[in-house]
Structure 1
């Protein structure tokens, strides 16, 4: 798999029926390794190891409904009170991060109401702080470190 713009992490892999799978620590199972999954697993490790977010607050690939349509978010980080701290959208490295990607995460966030947004294709990462009062968002240079309440 392609080298990504994250620190180097070690992953567990397995090969079955000529398909490589990667172990997802959050879902506690092997997932077929696609380019987008490679990015998703790096994001999860980044949140766990660099931002020190407890594993119990991270959720991966769950269904949400947006305007009555069934969608799946990539990664969500909850606050200890159950509200959503970070909503993450992952794309494969060959997918350019464009306005459509920000529109997608904005649509998801209309349902989720996250405090922070992260968009990554593994090579480029964008972080936003939501400002619901003024109906806009502010780009950040990085995600803040996790703090216990």
Structure 2
């Protein structure tokens, strides 16, 4: 299949810094190469957001590749759940949780509640909620004993 035979790319430009993704179109679907899992994945709107965050943190913010865990499974109230992106610190402790949503999904109280469930379960100090167009950043305040919204991304856990 030639490049001219590909259908129009269906995903929007995001407000996360862009990168040059390895894309393919086969089996009537778009695929994207995940550099952490070292394989092509079906490109869904959520995956489009996830891959932008992964590449931005690695290339733009110097987060070490080896500290990432993608779609890590966990049990919560006997249900199997998965975190979208989890970054660990150098001691192997959860450091940053990113909950990715499709661009058309609004970041609302329900999305925050879902992420908070994961956050408390894994005891992670930083959280990002993102649909690729809008982003909410939170960090745990020991002083206030609660999660506070922040304007800044957590620094790299180098």
Normalised by the shorter chain, which TM-score bucket? over 0.9
The one of 124, 128, 144 equivalent to 1:114 is 124
The one of 80, 92, 96 equivalent to 2:90 is 80
List structure 1 runs of 4+ shifted beyond 3 angstroms.
132-135
Q: C-alpha root-mean-square deviation of aligned residues, in Å? A: 1.3
Match of 1:131 in 2: 141
**TM-score, with structure 2 as normaliser:** 0.89
Contact kept? 2:137, 2:149, Cα under 8 Å: yes
Question: What do residues 67-91 of structure 1 show as CA deviations (whole Å, max 9, x unaligned)?
Answer: 2210011000001111000011000
Match of 1:33 in 2: 43
TM-superposed CA distance for 1:133, in Å, is 6.4
Gaps of 5+ in 1: none
The one of 123, 148, 156 equivalent to 1:146 is 156
The one of 8, 25, 28 equivalent to 1:15 is 25
Q: Secondary structure at the match of 1:21?
A: strand
Choose between structure 1 and 2: higher strand proportion: 1
Q: Distance in 1 between matches of 2:67 and 2:129?
A: 19
Contact kept? 1:118, 1:128, Cα under 8 Å: yes
**TM-score, with structure 1 as normaliser:** 0.94
The one of 39, 47, 52 equivalent to 2:62 is 52
Match of 2:112 in 1: 102
Count of aligned pairs: 148
Gaps of 5+ in 2: 1-10
Which is greater in Rg? 2
Q: Secondary structure at the match of 1:8?
A: coil
